[in-house]
Amino acid sequence: MGLEGSSITRPPFFDGNNYSFWKTRMTIFLQSLDYQLWHIVVNGPRMPTRTIEGVVSLKPKNEFNDNDFKMLQLNSKAKYVLFCVVGPNEFNRISSCDTYKEMWDLLEVTYEGTNQVNESKISMLVHEYVFDA
């Protein structure tokens, strides 16, 4: 029995295993849906703002225009996609996050660690290699 390919219309499911494989596939999937979704992951959501006398603040909802609603829709779509592609454990881990970027970053830290943790692991492995060799 041969292996089947993944669906090009369904996002890759993440069950807590093989995070780096899922992350790569999910990145490409989001970019293929709408590149602005990936922009939200990288930069966080863009909230409707206004500038009055040089001060930037959130717009009141009654001042939202069509573009503001499109951005809010993309923010919601990004969160929805991620909620649909994770198992119960990961859902519970990310469900309290407010933005897709927070959700993505939390999964990344959980499964890859922070840069500081990764550097520490590399240092430890190098130390073991040098002294065990």
Quote the DSSP letter at residue 90: H
Residue 59 within any structural domain of the chain = yes
Question: In angstroms, rounded to a whole number, what is the distance separating the alpha carbons of residues 93 and 100?
Answer: 13
- Residue 98, domain member (yes or no): yes
Q: 6-12: list long-range contacts, CB under 8 Å, 24+ apart.
A: 8/32, 11/81, 11/84, 11/85, 12/85
> For 92, what's the count of Cα atoms within 13 Å in the CB-facing half-sphere?
4
Identify whether 7 is part of a domain. no
Is residue 85 within 8 Å of residue 26, measured between CB atoms? yes
Could you tell me if residue 120 is inside a domain? no
107 neighbors 85 (Cβ within 8 angstroms)? no
Overall average pLDDT of the 107-116 stretch: 79
Domain membership of residue 31 as a residue range: 19-113
Asked whether residue 101 is domain-assigned, the answer is yes
Q: Does the residue 29 lie in any domain?
A: yes
Please report whether residue 13 resides in a domain: no
Beta bridge partners of 49: 58
Structure confidence by residue, pLDDT tens digits, 4-63: 556 677 889 998 889 999 999 999 999 998 888 888 888 888 889 999 999 999 999 999
CB atoms near residue 99 (< 10 Å): 16
pLDDT tens digit sequence for 4-21: 556 677 889 998 889 999
Helices (H), ranges, the chain: 19-33, 35-43, 66-84, 88-94, 100-112, 115-132
Q: Is 124 inside a domain boundary?
A: no
User: So what's the pLDDT on residue 2?
Assistant: 47
